[in-house]
Structures are given as C-alpha cells and as structure tokens.
C-alpha cells in the first residue's frame, strides 16, 4: 500500500475568515485541513500552487468563487463539498471535465431559510422594520401618521420553485390562511396547490411572490419588469433564492415608481454590494444572505460536510450529490 494512502486526506477549506464554524468539526476527525483565508488575496495563487499536489477535497463556505483556474491548480482534487444549497459559485464545467464530485448542503438549513422567507414577508407587508425606525427616531406621537400595511390572512402567495425549501415555505404559510400556488419546471402531482406553467401567469394571479428556485441560465432575471408590472402596485416580492433571479436595476425603478409595493431581500446580484437606492426606501427589508445562519443550521451543515468527506474517502454513498450530467 502506498504511504500516501495511509495519511489523512488533505482538505482545503475555502471560506471567509469569520465563517469558522466548521473548523472544530474538522479538527475532531482524521483530516489535515488547510485554509485559503490565511493567505492574502494577492497571494492565493501561490498558496494554491504550493499545496496543489496534496489537496484532495475542497470545503466551500460563504460561496467564495471556485472558478476553473482555482480547480486547475489542484491536480489531486476529487471532491468539492459546498456548505450551501446553491453551487453556482463553482465552475461545474471544469468539475465535470475533471471528474470532480460536488455535494451541497441539501436540506441542512431548509427550515431556517423558510422561516426567514415568511419573516421577510411579514416584515414587509406589516412594515415592521420601518415602524421600528419610526419609533426609535422619536417620531411617534398620539397622532398616528404612518401608512398602514396589509394583513397576511387569505392573501394569494405564489412560490417560484417548490422544492424542499419552497415546500417548507408553503407549509408555514398555510396556517395563516394563505392561498398557495406555484411555478416550477414541472407540476408536482402530490401537492394541493395550483400549478402555473410560467411566472408571468403566476404573478397575474397572486398578491405576493416568493423566490425559492436555484439560479440557472433559464432562471436568470426570471423576475423582470414585465413580471413586476403584472404583479402590480400592491405586489410584494420576497427573494431567498439568488440575487440574479431578479433584474435588480428594474426592481429599484419599480420600487421607486410604485410599480410594486415592496420587497424583502436576503440575496443580491453582486453581493456584498447592495444598490444604494434601496437604503432609503421604507418598503424594503434587507438581510445579508443570512437565511440559513442560525447556530443549529451551522451545526447541521458541518455534520453534513463531515459525513460527506468521511463517506467519500471510505467509498461510501454520499449525501446530496450534485448531478453534473
């Protein structure tokens, strides 16, 4: 047996400095961990080159880009473990060409993402963030002079992407008496909700839209100006999917001009950049791509990542494998 096969596999953790929640989990198992965040950005290439031969796995946190150039510097790379549901930050073509396996977080934090989706919706329609600022600024007097919001009960809510997270969002909205419908690639025969074959028809027949789908070439800017105009002046859009699902420039114009009533956003097109025009709008609630960021979810994500690493190097079945074919 070769000596290298007896050594602990080398894992490269690609993460921002603050996202250190997985470090302790890795240290408890037989992995040798390296961290890209310990190198300055301008020396990352040297860092990768110097450790290239030994790295067999990459754990991706914080959705830092993993382009073809990154992958090409790691000739021994066999697997990329994404600590997120989305994997659009990874060059899939290069992984396919190299035969690199990709896994994601699956449903590790679906409950928390669904919670935030509903929280954003309630915050927007009841103006929770705005009235909080209203009270803190000392403007509240006995003469109530703040615009009213909407009730959630009996509102029609269209969900774009009725996968695991979209389904959890729907289940949370049912007790509020919401009328749920959805758009996805194909109708799902086992759900009690009305299916719409395209987002335009979904927008025409709903008060609010919640985006839960993944970002692909087909879903890029799936919410364009036409969709927003169709949703109407009392319409609300919640996005806990990916920023690129919405035409952000047109969204800003529609908000400013009253084409739609409001938005709740956990994701943006050019994160961490956020259009400055949104900061002064009272009909907008913003979150820093933090839908899954709870202590419980981070622990779940770590356990899934470790389980996939252990399974891979033991030639056992993996959890939440991304299909590249």
Give the residue-averaged pLDDT of 29-56: 75
Beta-carbon contacts of 44 under 8 Å, excluding residues fewer than 6 positions away, are 36
Burial category of 258 from C-beta neighbours within 10 Å (exposed 0-12, middle 13-18, buried 19 and up): exposed
From the list 112, 59, 113, 111, the residue with the least C-alpha distance to 87 is: 59
Chain position carrying tokens 């985006």? 211
Task: State yes or no: pLDDT of 108 exceeds 80.
Answer: yes
Are 190 and 241 found together in one domain?
yes
Give the residue-averaged pLDDT of 274-298: 95
CATH of the domain at 217: 3.40.50.720
Helical packing angle, 110-125 and 295-313, nearest 10°: 150
C-beta of residue 308 within 8 angstroms of C-beta of residue 108: no
Are 126 and 261 found together in one domain?
yes
Are 21 and 155 found together in one domain?
no
Are 141 and 279 found together in one domain?
yes
Q: How would residue 2 be classed by pLDDT, with cut points 50, 70 and 90?
A: very low
Q: Within its chain, how far is the Cα of 116 from the centroid? A: 11
Are 90 and 119 found together in one domain?
no
Residue 281 falls inside a structural domain: yes
Least confident of 35-44, 51-60, 89-98, 272-281: 35-44
142 vs 14 pLDDT, higher one? 14
Residue 323 falls inside a structural domain: no
The DSSP result for 74-119, as a single string, is -TT--EEEESSS--TTB-HHHHHHHT-EEE--TTTTHHHHHHHHHH
Beta-carbon contacts of 35 under 8 Å, excluding residues fewer than 6 positions away, are 12, 13, 15
**Active site (catalytic) residues:** 242, 271, 289
pLDDT at residue 6 in the model:
62
Q: What is the largest CA-CA distance in the chain?
A: 82
Are 116 and 100 found together in one domain?
no
pLDDT at residue 43 in the model:
65
Are 149 and 264 found together in one domain?
yes
Are 185 and 280 found together in one domain?
yes
Residue 322 falls inside a structural domain: no
Give the whole-number percent of the chain exceeding pLDDT 70. Answer: 94
pLDDT at residue 53 in the model:
81
pLDDT tens profile 177-227: 999 999 999 999 999 999 999 999 999 999 999 999 989 899 999 999 999
16 vs 118 pLDDT, higher one? 118
pTM: 0.88
Q: Are strands 156-160 and 101-103 parallel, antiparallel or unpaired?
A: unpaired
Residue 320 falls inside a structural domain: no
Q: What is the mean pLDDT of the chain?
A: 92
- Domain range for residue 298? 3-108+294-313
Residue 325 falls inside a structural domain: no
CA distance 233 to 251: 13
Residue 90 falls inside a structural domain: yes
Are 165 and 25 found together in one domain?
no
Are 133 and 268 found together in one domain?
yes
Domain total for the chain? Answer: 2
CA distance 116 to 241: 12
Residue 20 falls inside a structural domain: yes
pLDDT tens profile 150-166: 999 999 999 999 999 99
C-beta of residue 324 within 8 angstroms of C-beta of residue 92: yes
Are 247 and 208 found together in one domain?
yes
The DSSP result for 241-282, as a single string, is S-GGGB-HHHHHHHHHTTSSSEEEES--TBTTB--GGGGG-T
Are 170 and 205 found together in one domain?
yes
Give the residue-averaged pLDDT of 241-262: 97
């Amino acid at each position: 047996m070769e000596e290298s096969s007896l050594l602990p596999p080398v894992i490269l953790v690609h993460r921002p400095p603050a996202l250190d929640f997985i470090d302790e989990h890795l240290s408890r198992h037989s992995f040798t961990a390296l961290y890209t965040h310990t190198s300055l950005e301008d020396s990352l290439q040297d860092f990768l080159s110097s450790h290239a031969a030994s790295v067999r796995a990459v754990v991706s946190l914080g959705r830092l880009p993993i382009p073809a150039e990154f992958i090409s510097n790691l000739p021994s790379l066999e697997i990329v473990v994404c600590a997120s549901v989305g994997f659009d930050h990874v060059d899939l073509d290069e992984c396919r060409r190299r035969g690199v396996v990709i896994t994601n977080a699956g449903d590790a934090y679906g409950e928390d993402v669904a919670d935030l989706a509903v929280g954003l919706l309630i915050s927007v329609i009841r103006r929770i963030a705005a009235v909080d600022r209203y009270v803190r600024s000392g403007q509240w007097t006995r003469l109530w002079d703040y615009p009213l919001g909407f009730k959630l009960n009996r509102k029609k809510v269209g969900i774009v992407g009725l996968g695991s997270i979209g389904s959890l969002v729907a289940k949370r909205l049912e007790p509020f008496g919401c009328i749920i419908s959805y758009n996805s690639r194909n109708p799902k025969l086992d759900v009690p909700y009305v299916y719409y074959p395209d987002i335009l028809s979904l927008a025409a027949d709903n008060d609010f839209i919640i985006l839960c789908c993944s970002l692909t070439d087909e879903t890029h800017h799936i919410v364009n100006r036409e969709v927003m105009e169709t949703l109407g002046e009392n319409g609300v859009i919640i996005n806990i999917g990916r920023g690129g699902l919405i035409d952000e420039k047109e969204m800003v114009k529609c908000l400013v001009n009253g084409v739609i009533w409001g938005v709740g956003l956990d994701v943006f097109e050019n994160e961490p950049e956020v259009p400055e025009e949104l900061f002064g709008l009272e009909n907008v609630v913003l979150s820093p791509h933090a839908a899954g960021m709870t202590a419980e979810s981070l622990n779940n994500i770590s356990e899934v990542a470790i389980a996939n690493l252990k399974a891979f190097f033991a030639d056992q079945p993996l959890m939440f494998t991304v299909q590249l074919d």
